[in-house]
Structure 1
Amino acid sequence: MPVDVDLRKLRYFVEVAERLHFGRAAQALHIAQPVLSRQIRALESELGAQLFVRDRRASELTPAGRQLLEDARPLLASAEALRRRVGRAARGPRVFAVGFMPGLIVTPAVRALSARHPGLTVEVLRMSWDDQAELIRDGHVDVGYVRLPIDRRGLRTRHLLSEPRVVSLPADHRLAGKDVINAADLADEHLLQDPDAVPEWRDVATEMATGSRGAGPQIRTVEEKLEHVAAGRGIVILPLSTATFYTRPDVVHVSVCDLPPNQVHLAWDATRRSPLIQEFVGVAVASQG
């Protein structure tokens, strides 16, 4: 028998599943804890599965709960993207949103699309490593200039350009005077970013081999990362355009000869058939010359 899943209950479930605490989840949702508990019990009843193992101190996900969490996130993102697109169409005039990663210049393509469609409002939104794919999936942007690697599930992509990568070091670092170095020269350094963004560094990093890499503070923006670099707390690997854009006197950028170039792609929701998206992709590729 088909089950109609209530998106509100799904949102409640995800909040509890991510926090594994009904009290804190209720506070974040601005509802009473007994109300939240009733909603979760109702969802379990509708699905015919227990989602949490509860005791007085904490909650844990059951296998069914873990599966629902995996499936609920993209479902909620799709629902939010649908809401945004319908709302955008209803408001008018038409709006087209372009996302971009730091260091990338989108002005030529934005101006070209605006010139072709005088009634179109073209907005731009700065993205980050952590949210570049999600901002496309949830409908915040129509097309994004993304830096690989990303999770491509639900996305279509087209290669746009490649650019060298450099390591950012404090100005007084032992390698700061070098013109070019190897990735192995950075083996003993602490990386101030997600290692998944620099898989080549994983192969040589001492802190990965010894398991000494701590969680550390969550550093999201390029500006924050460079503040930590300048303070001598570690290094970051950046595409050359990003490093050039964020030039500062207490940080130097050195070429790393055996790091492959960063790949920049255009990405958009694979389910969408908007002619504007295809037109912008063509314009963006042409603007690269």
Structure 2
Amino acid sequence: MTDLDLRKLRYFVAVAEHMHFGRAAEQLYIAQPVLSRQIRALEDELGVQLFERDRRGTALTAAGEQLLLDARPLLEGAQALHRRAVRAAHGTDTFTVGFMPGLIVSAPVRAMAARHPELTVELVRTTWDDQTTVVRDGRVDISFVRPPIDSEGLRTRPLYTEPRVVLVSTDHPLAGKESVALADLADDHLLQDPDMFPEWRAAATDPRAQSRPVPVFHSVEEKLEHVAVGRGIAFLPLSVATFYTRPDITYIAVSDLSPGEVNLVWDSVRRSPLIDEFADLAAG
């Protein structure tokens, strides 16, 4: 049985994400020849070829694709282990809760702090991009999330649902309506992945509406700026829409859009009475 070197595994993931040895080496702050030798050493240890390199560029082999799938959660788990060990060594008695924008989590947090005066309950604001990553890498013990998520390796507890609304600019033809149907929005440019909203995809009969490129956003604020200047529409949970109220955007109820969910997630391999207790408080 081969003992995997996590450092080599990190190097492999960097190359796989960049598909370029030079850029990966820059990210890792090592020389490219050193990186190449480390990848070859990893291939020798595993007995498989991970990359195919030719004049056209770098590509993952089937073995490389499988290793990439398995490597990310393994590295995140190792990072979580390190964080918890350091925390324990320093005698830090903390419990950390992640939460998405628009969610109010003060009630279970206050209840948890009241039950355990010796415990420091900390909060970490998350985004669509890292709402489960912070659980896997140990930055938080438990997190409030909005599906869809990759739930592999996580325990999930549904909490509640809430309406989802459409956000439009104030000069949009539908602005001012109390409610609309998805068919009314079929020709609009959706600034989100259509796969997240299958009801809208079904209503958008014009193929051009479904095939328009989706911008990459790193925050809700960026998405709202695009809505405000009339570049498209966005569907958001009602709590998020009200949290980000602004004069150049309005939100409208959508009669046939399914509600959004709010769940709790935590690492499925962890056994912690505090996690179970907090989950019960949040669900209660």
**Does the Cα contact within 8 Å between 1:207 and 1:213 map onto a contact in 2?**
no
Q: Please, what TM-score do these two structures have when normalized by structure 2?
A: 0.96
Shift of 1:96: 0.8
Instruction: Give the drift of 1:92.
Output: 2.4
Give the distance between the partners of 2:193 and 2:85, measured in 1 at CA.
35
Going from structure 1 to structure 2, the CA distance change for 1:40 and 1:207 (only over 3 Å counts) comes to farther
Displacement of 1:56 after TM fit? Answer: 4.4
**In 1, distance between residues paired with 2:53 and 2:276?**
49
Amino acid in structure 2 at the alignment position of 1:202: R
Give the C-alpha shift of residue 16 in structure 1: 0.5
| Map of 2:144 onto structure 1 | 145
1:210/1:238 CA distance change after superposition, 3 Å: closer
Matching residue within 263, 266, 272 for 1:265: 263
Task: Map 1:1-289; keep pairs closer than 5 Å.
Answer: 2-56=1-55, 58-206=57-205, 212-216=211-215, 218-286=216-284
Partner Cα separation in structure 1 for residue 206 and residue 126 of structure 2: 29
Shift, 1:132, TM fit: 0.9
Partner Cα separation in structure 2 for residue 166 and residue 208 of structure 1: 23
Secondary structure of the 1:258 match is: coil
| Structure 2: gaps of 5 or more residues | none
Deviates more, 1:201-210 or 1:61-70: 201-210
CA contact (8 A) 1:160 1:285 kept: yes
**Which amino acid counterpart does residue 92 of structure 2 have in structure 1?**
P
Question: By how many angstroms is 1:73 displaced?
Answer: 1.1
- Give how far 1:22 is off: 0.6
Gaps of 5+ in 1: none
Distance 2:117 2:20 in 1: 51
Looking at structure 1, the residues matched to 209 and 283 of structure 2 have their Cα atoms a distance apart, in angstroms, of 44
Deviations 1:180-232 (A, max 9, x none): 1111111111112233432322222356566632243x112111111110010
Report SS of the residue matched to 2:212.
coil
Aligned-partner residue type, residue 88 of structure 2: A
1:132 match: secondary structure: coil
Distance 2:91 2:105 in 1: 23
Q: How far apart are 1:83 and its partner, in Å?
A: 1.2
CA distance in 2, matches of 1:181, 1:262: 17
Quick check: 1:95–1:120 contact (8 Å CA) kept in 2? yes
2:187 and 2:209 in contact (8 A); partners too: no
CA distance in 2, matches of 1:13, 1:52: 10
Secondary structure at the aligned position of 2:40 is classed as helix
8 Å Cα contact 1:93/1:119 also seen in 2:
no
Pair 228,175 (structure 1): closer, same or farther in 2 beyond 3 Å: same
1:61 and 1:108 map into 2 onto residues whose CA distance is 47
**TM superposition shift of 1:179:** 0.7
Deviation of 1:71 after TM superposition, in Å, equals 1.2
Amino acid at match of 1:279: E
TM-score normalized by the length of structure 1: 0.94
Measured against aligned partners, the alpha-carbon deviations of 1:14-60 in whole angstroms (never above 9, x if no partner) come to 10011111111101100000100100010010011111111245211
